[in-house]
Structures are given as structure tokens and as C-alpha cells.
Structure 1
């Protein structure tokens, strides 16, 4: 499976074991945005484990409340931030404190995909 969905705040590509999200420039990811993302993952991954990969191409921010709600998705088994930007990686390290499941930070998307596949294979 490989399907791309476009929203006013992001683009989301669905794969068999993970979803890759590219949030638009300047967005402040709120709980409302997160609810949209949750509904999509419930549709495409109703009873199977998956990993959420955020590919941080653009500059945006995340309301930390989003992570506690996202962590409650039972079949979400991990989260990955992909960025080459130093500040985005620092922000991700802070965000990691709010997320109580496996959370990794990579510079390359291929590394994130491989980690996601490995994590799903372990489950």
C-alpha cells in the first residue's frame, strides 16, 4: 500500500507498516490537527501495529499536549522524527520527553523506514 492524502496542514503517505507525515511550513500542530491524523490512522491501521514518521522538511511547532493523546493510540508502537536541521533535532529531543513509547530521531528518511520496519517486525 502507498497512498498519499493531502490536508490543509500536511501531506500524509500511508504505507503497510508506517505513515509518513510532512507538515506544512509555519503550522502549529494542535490537538485538532492531531484528531484528524488519529482518524486517518484508525482507518488505515484499525488493528495492526504501525509507526508514525514525521519528516520535518519545513519549520513548524507542536503543542506538547498532542503527544500524550497520540501515545494513547493502542496500535501506535513508535514515533520517528526525520530532519537534517539541528534545531528540529533539539526540539525533537524535548518532545521525546512527552511521548512514552519508542521515539527515535534520524537524519535520513531511509533510516527511519528501516527502524519502523524492524520495530513492527518485533511486535
Structure 2
């Protein structure tokens, strides 16, 4: 069962094994926003492995230190970045330098979900 949250600066969709987040145009994501992410993780995933899907349909900025904090989420096994803007692919490569887990760029959500399923299959003994 899908759960939806509108945080004003983001729309969050939570499924059984992934969290999809769509950030509002022009927003700056800071480390304190990770506290909200941690609340969702504790409530919906507990210690179960999951994938974060960053649905980048809008243009926004991320403080690079956010990735350091996000890496600390033990049951987060990867981030899928979904965007039709190919500049996001280069940005994802840069973000990979700050993020210590799997992060991959996709142009459509279907491919991101296929990747999520493969990651989860590999992490069944999490």
C-alpha cells in the first residue's frame, strides 16, 4: 500500500521497499532535512533494506554534506536518480564522490525500479 506525504518542499511516496521523493523547484536541501528522511525510514522501513528514488523533475540544490548523513542510514542500500535532464547524469557522478553507497542515474522510473529490485535481491541477507 502506497503512502503519500506532502511536506511543502517535497512530495514523498513510500512503497514496501522504496521511498520516492520529488523536491520542489528551487529548493535547497540541507542536512537538517535528513531528520525528516530518518523519521520516514524508522516509521516505514525499520531495519528492512530499501532504495531511495530521487525523482528529479524539478531543479533544486543539495548541500553535499547531506550525502555524508544519508550514508549513515544502515538499511539504505542505494539511490536511484531519475531525470530526463542529462545534466543530472553528470551531477549524479559528482554526487557519487560524496555518497558511500550505490547511486545510479536513470532517464525513466521503470529502469530505476528494475535496478532497485536487483539491488534488493542481492541484499536479502541484509
SS in 2 for 1:4: strand
Q: Does 1:108 align with 2:108?
A: yes
Q: Does 1:38 align with 2:34?
A: no
Q: Who is 1:19 aligned against?
A: 19
The answer on whether the counterparts of 2:92 and 2:103 sit within 8 Å (CA) in structure 1 is no
Alpha-carbon displacement from aligned partner over 1:11-69 (angstroms, at most 9, x marks no partner): 01001111110000000100111211121111100010000010100000110000010
How far 1:73 moved relative to its partner? 0.4
Please, which runs of 5 or more residues in structure 1 have no aligned partner? none
Q: Does 1:59 align with 2:51?
A: no
How far 1:92 moved relative to its partner? 1.4
Please, which runs of 5 or more residues in structure 2 have no aligned partner? none
Structure 1 CA distance for aligned equivalents of residues 11 and 17 of structure 2 = 17
How far 1:115 moved relative to its partner? 0.7
- Name the Cα RMSD after superposition: 0.9
Structure 2 CA distance for aligned equivalents of residues 92 and 8 of structure 1 = 24
Moved more, 81-90 or 45-54: 81-90
How far 1:102 moved relative to its partner? 1.0
Aligned structure 1 segments of 4 or more residues deviating by more than 3 angstroms: none
SS in 2 for 1:25: coil
Q: Who is 1:118 aligned against?
A: 118
Structure 1 CA distance for aligned equivalents of residues 15 and 93 of structure 2 = 25
